[in-house]
Structure 1
Amino acid sequence: MYRPPFSRNLFAEFDRLRRELDQAFELSPSIRGLGAGFPTLNIGSTPNSVEIFAFAPGVDPAALDVQIEKGVLTISGERKAPQVPEKATVHLGERFAGRFHRVVSLPDSIDPASVTASYRDGVLHISAQRKDSALPRRINIQ
């Protein structure tokens, strides 16, 4: 008798698959942490700007590259691995080291010429001002 590989309840299969993936990722904490990407981002907006905070501790600011092209902001760079003494044995390494690349789509109202970036205490702060034409304005009635 033929038995299909999936049960009739597709949602139950998705739930089973999610549980199996959760179990697989519990075996390696470093893999579980990679899902969010590096650096982690907080993005917010004000009426005048979009504010982006990239949390990149241990990254040399000279190793960061921030670019904007056609409304797409790209943050890339490299974080060096910490120096481990020659005879030391690492039992668990959860800190990401290596090259990274994050891409964020910005709204059309952003003026690419007004984007500024600063780095302090492991946080890259990018501020993108809105175009004057995109800002709300009050129209006087005559």
Structure 2
Amino acid sequence: MSDLHFGTDLFSELDRLQRQMSSLFGGFPSSLRSSQFGTFPHINVGTTDDTVEIVAFAPGVELGKLDISIDKGLLSIAGERTTRDAQLPEGTRQYAQERFNGSFRRVIELPQQADPDKVQAHYVDGCLLISVGKREASKPRAITVQ
């Protein structure tokens, strides 16, 4: 039997510890690719032989309120999301809200082989799809042995 004793539920203690650690380190990301818990929009980044593919999950954002730019190898996605019909009835005391509303900005460090002159972006069903082409010199090629 262990001599270790917790005065409360072990999972509650672990949850409390995680919240304290998040508050300690939450404001200081270790790199541009890391993000604080709860950052909006969530993103997926992948690569093919020809492109770098980014998907930003941004439901409820109007197309006109999105701003995408690339500068010095950094892709910036900025915008604003506002609540429309999802308001609670007047007099309701809200005790939980998981939907983010307001301005946002995400910065993604692109790999060196990304070509900022070859960018396409589409917004479909709440997903911002960004495709950044790679430089020709960085693409894989076969070498013939003579």
Q: Write the distance in 2 (CA, Å) between the matches of 1:101 and 1:21.
A: 28
> Which of 48, 54, 57 in structure 2 is aligned with 1:55?
57
Structure 1 residues 130-139 or 76-85, which shifts more?
76-85
Structure having the higher Rg: 1
> Which of 63, 66, 70 in structure 2 is aligned with 1:64?
66
State the partner residue of 1:131: 135
Q: Write the distance in 2 (CA, Å) between the matches of 1:113 and 1:125.
A: 16
1:67 to 1:140, Cα distance in 2 relative to 1, 3 A? same
Q: How many residue pairs get matched? A: 118
* Bigger fraction of residues in helix: 1
Is residue 87 of structure 1 aligned with residue 90 of structure 2? Answer: yes
1:94 to 1:19, Cα distance in 2 relative to 1, 3 A? closer
Unaligned runs of 5+ in 2: 1-12, 21-35
One-letter code aligned to 1:100:
F
- How much is the aligned-residue C-alpha RMSD, in angstroms? 2.5
Give the structure-1-normalised TM-score.
0.73
> Which of 115, 132, 139 in structure 1 is aligned with 2:119?
115
Output aligned runs, 1:22-41, within 5 Å. 22=18, 35-41=37-43
Q: Write the distance in 1 (CA, Å) between the matches of 2:66 and 2:53.
A: 18
SS of residue matched to 1:111: strand
State the partner residue of 1:14: none
Give the structure-2-normalised TM-score.
0.71
1:55-90 Cα deviation digits (max 9, x unpaired): 000000110000001110000000012342662525
